[in-house]
Amino acid sequence: MQVRNFLHFLLITFYILAFSIMVDAQQIQHNKEGEKIVLFPDGRWEYFDNSNSSHLKLDEEIKRKQIASPLDILDEQTSKGGGEEEESEEDRFERLLNKAEDNLALALERESDIKFSKILLEEEIDDLKNDENSTDEQYFLLKRQLKLASDLEKGAKKKTKKTKKELEKLKKQGKIVQESTSKKSKKRSSKKNRRENINVKELQNSKYTYKEDGTFYLASKNFEKYSKDDDVMHNPPRKDCNLVFDGIDEFMGKKRKDVARDVLFTFTNDDMRRYMEADDYITCEGNLTQIKGGVLLLNLFISINTTDAQRAFGGLTKGNLLTLKMINGESISLVNNQSDNGVYDPLKKQHTFIGQFRINSGQEKTLKKSEIDVVRVIWDTGYEDYEVYNLDFLVNQFKCLN
Domain harbouring 141, CATH code? 1.10.287
DSSP state of 230: G
Q: Which residues pair with 125 in a beta bridge?
A: none
Assess whether 294 and 364 both reside in one domain: yes
Same domain for 59 and 140, yes or no, is no
CATH number, residue 362: 2.60.40
Assign 21 a pLDDT band (cuts: 50, 70, 90).
very low
305 and 269 share a domain? yes
Amino acid at 160: T
Residue 377 predicted with pLDDT over 80? yes
Query: Is residue 369, in this structure, part of any structural domain at all?
Result: yes
d(CA 24, CA 229): 47
φ/ψ of 169, rounded to 5, equals -65, -40
Q: Residue 171's pLDDT is what?
A: 82
- Residue 233 has a pLDDT of 58
Is there a single domain that holds both residue 58 and residue 99?
Answer: no
Q: Which amino acid is at 244?
A: V
CA distance 254 to 386: 35
In a shared domain, residues 39 and 95: no
Amino acid at 180: S
Distance of CA 345 to the CA centre of its chain: 42
Cβ atoms 245, 261 nearer than 8 A: no
> Rounded to an integer, what distance in angstroms lies between the CA atom of residue 257 and that of residue 247?
7
In total, how many domains does the chain have? Answer: 3
Residue 94 lies in a domain: yes
Number of C-beta neighbours around residue 211 at 10 A: 10
Residue 129 belongs to a domain: yes
Domain identity same for 257 and 369: yes
Please indicate, yes or no, whether residues 96 and 52 belong to a single structural domain of this protein.
no
270 found inside a domain: yes
**299 bridge partner residues:** 287, 356
**60/98 same-domain check:** no
340 and 261 in one domain? yes
* Across 104-120, average pLDDT: 85
pLDDT at 219 over 90: no
Look at residue 390 and tell me if it is in a domain.
yes
Q: What is the pTM for the complete model shown? A: 0.46
CA distance 227 to 164: 19
Q: Is residue 7 part of a domain?
A: yes
Name which of 288, 359, 289 is nearest 324 in CA terms: 359
**Under 8 Å CB-to-CB from 286, ≥6 apart: which residues?**
261, 262, 264, 298, 299, 300, 301, 393, 397
- Say yes or no: 378 and 345 in one domain: yes
Same domain membership, residue 391 and residue 291: yes
Using DSSP's 3-state secondary structure scheme, residue 80 falls into coil
Residue 225 lies in a domain: no
Residues spanned by the domain of 387 = 243-401
pLDDT at 232: 57
Question: How far is the C-alpha of 180 from the C-alpha of 69, rounded, in Å?
Answer: 14
Of 179 and 335, more confident: 335
More confident residue, 10 or 331: 331
pLDDT confidence tier of residue 77, bands split at 50, 70 and 90: very low
Residues 320 and 388 both lie in one domain: yes
What average pLDDT is seen over the chain?
Answer: 78
Separation CA 96–CA 80 (nearest Å): 11
How many Cβ atoms from other residues are within 10 Å of residue 172's Cβ?
Answer: 10
Q: Is residue 361 part of a domain?
A: yes
CB contact at 8 A, 168 and 122: no
State how far Cα 241 lies from the chain centre. Answer: 24
